[in-house]
């Protein structure tokens, strides 16, 4: 019986699916409340970015925001009309749903299915490019020594040139995308706190305490007491 238990896998739900957890990750959970693998997934999460129709419409209505989106790595390959294509397709799908429902027309339903498939595919492409940009943020956090200020303040006031080198966007670019809601601030705050916890615990193993003189820790747009690192 004991041998059977020893071979039972330990699974963890990462927000969308179950994954097997190894011994190292279990120790990470004990120390930090998360594992390095899941932390990396957290920074590659679709929850960090908004690609709903309302957000994409705001981008489309703002020529500067649309131009900024096109600066992000990989967007040019999608085509300059990718956002407009998605927004227009969403409107077409609404119309087809009404027509298909009213007339019970198999041809319309088939066309609706094809449009929905293409719509989801294109929106996923945009989502993936934005998620790829989001993974640059922990790289920026690794490179900057500022921990007590919010990340937005670090980007705007303390390390603007470093942020531009790492992400390819200027402060104004980033501010604009925040204003139109491309990035989910609440999810960013949560991801940054988990990053800080993991970073702090990892350094503690080597005897390094980067927060000895700190009283607060910066998140995306706010700060929290240093005790938040303890979970």
Ranges of each domain in the chain: 53-131
Going through 14-62 in order, the beta strands assigned E by DSSP cover: 18-20
Asked if residue 42 has pLDDT above 80, the reply is no
Question: From the CA atom positions of the chain, what is the Rg in Å?
Answer: 22
Closest CA to 82 of 50, 117, 56, 43: 56
Asked if residue 205 has pLDDT above 60, the reply is no
Asked if residue 168 has pLDDT above 60, the reply is yes
- pLDDT at position 8: 46
Report the alpha-carbon angle 199-203-206, nearest 5: 160
Whole-angstrom distance, CA of residue 45 vs CA of residue 208: 30
Asked if residue 129 has pLDDT above 90, the reply is yes
Looking at the chain, the number of H-run helices and the number of E-run strands are 13, 4
Mean pLDDT of the chain: 78
* pLDDT digits 0-9 by tens, 180-196: 999 998 888 888 888 77
List helix spans (H) across 70-105: 75-78, 82-103
- pLDDT at position 3: 46
**Torsion angles phi and psi, residue 225, rounded to 5:** -55, 150
Q: What percent of the chain has pLDDT over 90?
A: 36
CA 40 to chain centre: 11
If pLDDT is split at 50, 70 and 90, which confidence band does 25 have? Answer: very low
- 27 to 35, 73, 209, 215: CA distances (angstroms): 8, 36, 20, 27
- pLDDT at position 148: 75
Whole-angstrom distance, CA of residue 231 vs CA of residue 229: 5
Query: Mean pLDDT across the stretch 57-76?
Result: 94
CB 60 within 8 A of CB 83: yes
Query: Mean pLDDT across the stretch 83-112?
Result: 85
């Amino acid at each position: 019986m004991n041998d059977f238990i020893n071979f039972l896998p330990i699974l963890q739900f990462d927000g969308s699916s179950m994954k097997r957890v190894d011994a190292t990750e279990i120790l990470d959970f004990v120390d930090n409340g998360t594992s390095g693998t899941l932390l990396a997934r957290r920074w590659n999460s679709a929850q960090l970015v908004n690609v709903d129709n309302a957000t994409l419409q705001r981008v489309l209505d703002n020529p500067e925001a649309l131009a900024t989106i096109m600066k992000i790595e990989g967007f040019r390959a999608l085509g300059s009309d990718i956002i407009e294509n998605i927004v227009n397709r969403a409107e077409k799908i609404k119309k087809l749903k009404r027509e298909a429902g009213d007339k019970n027309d198999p041809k319309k339903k088939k066309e609706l299915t094809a449009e929905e498939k293409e719509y989801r595919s294109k929106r996923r492409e945009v989502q993936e490019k934005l998620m790829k940009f989001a993974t640059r943020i922990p790289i920026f956090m690794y490179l900057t020594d500022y921990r007590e200020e919010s990340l937005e303040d670090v980007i705007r006031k303390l390390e603007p040139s470093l942020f531009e080198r790492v992400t390819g966007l200027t402060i104004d670019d980033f501010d604009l995308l925040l204003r139109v809601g491309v990035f989910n601030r609440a999810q960013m705050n949560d991801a940054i706190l988990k990053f800080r916890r993991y970073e702090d615990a990892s350094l503690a193993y080597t005897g390094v305490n980067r927060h000895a003189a700190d009283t607060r820790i910066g998140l995306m747009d706010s700060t929290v007491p240093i005790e938040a690192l303890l979970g």
